[in-house]
Structure 1
Amino acid sequence: MPVVNEPYAPGTPCWVDLMAPDQQQAIDFYRDLFGWQGEIGAEEFGGYAVLTLNGKAVAGIGKAMAMGDNPPPPTVWTTYLASANAAETAARVTAGGGTVLFEPMTVGTVGKMLVAQDPTGAVFGVWEPLDFFGAQVVNEAGAVIWNELNTGDVEAARAFYGPALGVELRPMDDTGGMGEYFELAVGGKAVGGAQSLAKFPAEVPPHWATYFAVDDVDSTVDAAVRAGGSVLVPPMDTPVGRMGSLTDNQGGAFWVIKPQPPGA
């Protein structure tokens, strides 16, 4: 199991979470689908649940609640990028033309967070670790394996994420016929991907997508549908593995993938 034992480099995707109208229903859905463990948390943190895989933190699920005059957030998976200083990152987000949707807030002793929107419209989170640095297991069946920015303006995204978060968007030379694709890199290391929305249906907005690794894409899709989920993209073979896109039984979208083994 690829276990993470130290904080993520600033700019690296470090955590994902889902806000759902029915938190317990969401916990049950992903427990059955991915084998996660966990329960609704303490009231002082809004009941936020840190789900685990074999005892290691893998993702969060919270209850979608209205804050002030704002409506409850949509049922979406949010990607969080690591930061050494959330307040400074918020300032750089604003300076770069992004919008801070939820100002930096301290979450007990575990960390500081904010939620922002880049200039192209994609929403993401920022996490400054204190006692908790993020996902403790990745790149394993049932865990996050990839985070992907889908944007209507790649050049605008490139101009934003570099100065604001230290993330470089660089073209990939060979995508195996998958079309133009970009690698997200931090300190020269690939940490995710990005692509244009041109290959998506017109109604799909800019967004960050979460990919979970699975042992069998087809059986996972079938299980999700039996549990009330829906298929957005049927299972398909690609140069990087077999994958498909789903929504859970409350509308939260995500991808599942069985990656090609190294050297295949």
Structure 2
Amino acid sequence: MTKIKMTTPIVEMDGDEMTRILWKMIKDNLLEPFIELNTEYYDLGLEHRNETDDQVTVDSANATKKYKVAVKCATITPNGARMKEYHLKEMWKSPNGTIRAILDGTVFRTPIVVKGIEPCVRNWKKPITIARHAYGDVYKGSELKIPNAGKVELVYTAKDGSETRELVHEFEGSGIVQGMHNVDQSIESFARSCFNYALDLKQDLWFATKDTISKKYDHTFKDIFQDIFDAEYQEKFKEAGITYFYTLIDDAVARVMKSEGGYIW
């Protein structure tokens, strides 16, 4: 049997523990007998990430930008126990978070529908694809433990030295605080990824946030999505016979429970 030749390499990101064994079995039994594999290999096992000060994760992401496609195995994001178990130099960040930040990526998760395995919600007949922004937010969040009473503020310092301040909380005792960020450029990329994916699949696109509570952060997402849709995608969606609509997350959940599926959320 003639093997299929790969003209362009794909990035191969090996992982941790059992996933290394499973990935080798997949290659040995399902891929290599039929394909002349052409991969650029990166070992994202926790020991090697530690040896390279996590540079291997950055290198694998940059290689993915070059070749446009990668296969990544599951990896460990270490906690305190893993620090001791693997004798780590530091508690390295999530490899997924690092890679997504470099790729400015969007995560699409679509369940596999298997005959004979019924969904928990009986009226779901088609997959519901969840689209998630993969830049900033908690993956790049800054956190502080507040030891005792005091004031926490958000401070923006412009290049001219002027400051804008927003009170987060007046603490009367101990607590915690987290700061998150995003950038318009990445949100615009997320929006276009979602619109293009919907057009590729010929499926409706739902977008839901809590902009009634998050009047600046979530509302910015809502506004950018709507502006891009109106300017670039409205006619394309009409021609494809699909729809885009925005609703509050509360309403979206209610709609999802009553739907048959078959859309991107």
TM-score, normalised to structure 2, is: 0.27
Q: Which structure has more strand as a fraction of its residues?
A: 1
Q: Which structure has more helix as a fraction of its residues?
A: 2
Higher relative contact order (CA 8 A, sep 6+): 1
